[in-house]
Structure 1
Amino acid sequence: MSRSRETCSHEALLLEPSAYAKEVGYSWPSSDRRLAATTKSGRNPLIRKGQKVEDVEKLSEAIANNLSGTFPGPLILPGDELALDPKDPPQSFRSWLNEGLRKNRKLNRKCKTLYVAIAPEITSSVSFMKAGLQPSVRKGSRVTATKSLDPPSPEDIIKYTGAFYHGLLVEAFPGSFQFVPWDESKKSRKSDSDTGYVGLLAGKNSTRIRYRPSPDGVFKYQLNLNDLIDAAIEMLTGDAYSLLLLVNHDMYEDEDDVFCCGRAYGADRVAVVSTARYHPALDDHANIDFAHMWPTSHCKSYVDQLCGEEGLRQDTEMATRVANTSGPLRAAVEAIRGFENSALEDPRGLWFSRITRTVVHELGHCLGFAHCVYYACAMQSSSCMAEDLRQPPYLCPVCLGKVSHAIACELEGRDEAGKYEYVKDRYRSIADFCDSWKHVGLFAGYGAWLRARLEQLDIT
């Protein structure tokens, strides 16, 4: 069950990967390598000719410690993606900059629009699809339908994405989209348990979309992600840098999937995101600990508890390196203390706050960003809904360097000083958005994190 945030004081915040990370073989890049990952040269910017190695190491560690209260390491808890794949290779700023596919995906003035296509209309001829929009939840031995709740507004998603990718045009994709019958559907769907077919009509083009019952019974129908990606590729126009298709149905990628929330095909610059599994009514089903979503996911007591269930204890040295005073992460934790439990959150606002991270994450892949392994970051991969909600909404220094270079330098022609100013303008843009949504916990926390980060940048 979701627990009250008041049941835990979050006195100490863990700033490094958990004890479980070491157990599964994850090796956190050193402070030297994390600094080097932010540069064009791939070298630690602190290295100077004739400088002693130990002096560079000490200075690198000092800078890393100063940043840790802003950009902590990835948590890596049991079942997390990096726990399952601890050797996932890192993508530094240099490796992203020199990526071969970037030759065909650089932003330019003729091609700088991120389009968001709203969920297709369900026409009367396929009205059965409406039954797949609301989840059902199990309570004991009974399965009951959830109270009807409208999905997040596409307009709000577009506004947030525009703030997150400050400097790019983010617009609703023009035209209408409809689910319509597909000729094969009647003869192909022999029973409710078989795969069926509908068409996704965009303009004059109709793409066949497979659907099936949800394996876990949470939704009546799921749509095939690969078919939706094909439809998105067909929709991509010449002025679009990328296109993201929103769907309100549950999705699956292959026959072994239980569900899939989103996927990007970076080379084709298209992505598809489903709002379905982020529905707040599914928190218990997904084992969401409401008391320890970001930013309180870094609560040391919480991490220790999960590691303890695996028979692990934080080592003494790591246990001393925690934040219990100031910094953006602490500011975020303090900002959400008024949100005592899930019952006090606006459910539609809560749903919206959750989908935003996935939308900007998948669009990041369209910009060529790989999954991040350097820090807790919006570009981290996730293996489950619980991990997804533990991860932060911000970009780490490595991924922030990529997006600011792509927009400020490549698109707008700014120099390094201009790039630095872009970073602050971007933070202000997102903070202003968060201020207008401060009645929702995630945005209250993110807004506080941003304001505290801006104070840091103004001091340096």
Structure 2
Amino acid sequence: MQTIRHSEQTLKTALISKNPVLVSQYEKLDAGEQRLMNEAFQPTSGLFGPITLHSQSDWITSHPEAPQDFEQFFSDPYRKTPSPEKRSIYIQSIGDILKYLKKKKPEDAFCVVGITMIDLYPRDSWNFVFGQASLTDGVGIFSFARYGSDFYSLHYEGKLKKLQKTSSSDYSIFDNYYIPEITSVLLLRSCKTLAHEIGHIFGLRHCQWLTCLMQGSNHLEEADRRPLNLCPICLRKLQCAIGFSIVERYKALVRWIDESAHTPGVTPKHSRKAKGNLPKPVEAFKEWKEWIMKCLAVLQK
């Protein structure tokens, strides 16, 4: 086990920068927002901590890459930001998105994110990925496949038993594909991956500063250790890209959880043709809600 612990000055520079223009921008933030973000470089912070690597198979060890501080994010010439004309995020099932992208994204789309139950392999040298996104194309995809407990069982129904050759436009091979029970744990894992991939589309690279949603994950255990929240450095990046009040954002997240407080924790297994709104089980979000409430206390001092 290894802990990646940066110095107070390194984290402060990664968050605020030494560029006078960016320092000035930071100083214009709401006092509560500065107070929360300054927790990034407080050695005794109870909200944000250092990254811990548990094995050589963890992402940072397996996929070395340069860290991205706020100044590098801000100066990235390939970074895209939403506009009044392109501000919508579309979520499509993978069958639909592949057909859809052959034509074009909707005119008002900032990005399109596909979801699938098919296991994803970007190249032969990789074991799998939970998701992948293209910064330049505004397109992302993530898979539920490994989030259901049945994936690792011998009777997993999603395994392809016989190689079949089909055209690129034929999706019949996925008919009656396995769909897991929608538990609160599966929902939590899916929210993490979806938010992580959309973060990439907004220009956020993998985080190597503090425990953060934008950390890479190389296996399910590492993905589960990753928090649902952004560290202050990545939070400032996202706020710069979109523009929002952190207080209002966190209050909205608490409302989202509370609205489903009485929803049953597990839904029955669904068929591909099931209709209607699915329940939103949130038991697994309890710890995260408590964390948000602590942040709101700091923001509203």
Normalised TM-score (structure 2): 0.72
Say whether the 8 Å CA contact 2:40–2:48 is kept in structure 1.
no
Say whether the 8 Å CA contact 1:119–1:247 is kept in structure 2.
yes
Task: Give 2:206's aligned residue.
Answer: 371
Tell me whether 1:426 sits opposite 2:249 in the alignment.
yes
Task: Give 1:263's aligned residue.
Answer: 132
1:301-340 matches, within 5 Å, as: none
CA RMSD of aligned residues (A): 2.7
Task: Give 1:413's aligned residue.
Answer: none
Say whether the 8 Å CA contact 1:31–1:61 is kept in structure 2.
no
Tell me whether 1:449 sits opposite 2:291 in the alignment.
yes
Task: Give 1:75's aligned residue.
Answer: 52
1:74-153 matches, within 5 Å, as: 74-78=51-55, 79-85=57-63, 88-102=65-79, 105-120=80-95
What amino acid does structure 2 have at the position aligned with 1:280?
S
Residue correspondences, number: 240
Tell me whether 1:280 sits opposite 2:262 in the alignment.
no
Query: Deviation per CA, 1:249-278, whole angstroms, max 9, x where unpaired?
Result: 222222334332210011111101111111
Tell me whether 1:30 sits opposite 2:15 in the alignment.
no
Q: Distance in 2 between matches of 1:69 and 1:442?
A: 20
Match of 2:120 among 251, 267, 274: 251
Q: Secondary structure at the match of 1:100?
A: coil
Gaps of 5+ in 2: 24-37, 155-180, 262-280
What amino acid does structure 2 have at the position aligned with 1:64?
Q
Tell me whether 1:357 sits opposite 2:226 in the alignment.
no
Query: Deviation per CA, 1:2-48, whole angstroms, max 9, x where unpaired?
Result: xxxxxxxxxxxxxxxxx524xxxxx5331111111112545897xxx
What amino acid does structure 1 have at the position aligned with 2:90?
Y
Task: Give 2:2's aligned residue.
Answer: 20
Q: Distance in 2 between matches of 1:388 and 1:74?
A: 13
Change (3 A) 1:240 1:40: farther
Tell me whether 1:403 sits opposite 2:238 in the alignment.
yes
Q: What's the offset of the Cα at 1:61? A: 10
Normalised TM-score (structure 1): 0.48
Task: Give 1:212's aligned residue.
Answer: none
Say whether the 8 Å CA contact 2:39–2:48 is kept in structure 1.
no
Q: Secondary structure at the match of 2:43?
A: helix
Say whether the 8 Å CA contact 1:280–1:351 is kept in structure 2.
no
Say whether the 8 Å CA contact 2:206–2:215 is kept in structure 1.
yes
Q: What's the offset of the Cα at 1:407? A: 1.7
Change (3 A) 1:117 1:350: same
Q: What's the offset of the Cα at 1:456? A: 1.5
Change (3 A) 1:83 1:458: same
Q: Distance in 1 between matches of 2:76 and 2:41?
A: 28
Gaps of 5+ in 1: 1-18, 22-26, 46-59, 121-176, 179-199, 203-231, 286-345, 409-418
Q: Distance in 2 between matches of 1:365 and 1:113?
A: 16
Change (3 A) 1:69 1:442: same
What amino acid does structure 1 have at the position aligned with 2:255?
D
Say whether the 8 Å CA contact 2:120–2:128 is kept in structure 1.
yes
Q: Secondary structure at the match of 1:75?
A: strand
Change (3 A) 1:20 1:63: closer
Q: Distance in 2 between matches of 1:448 and 1:353?
A: 15
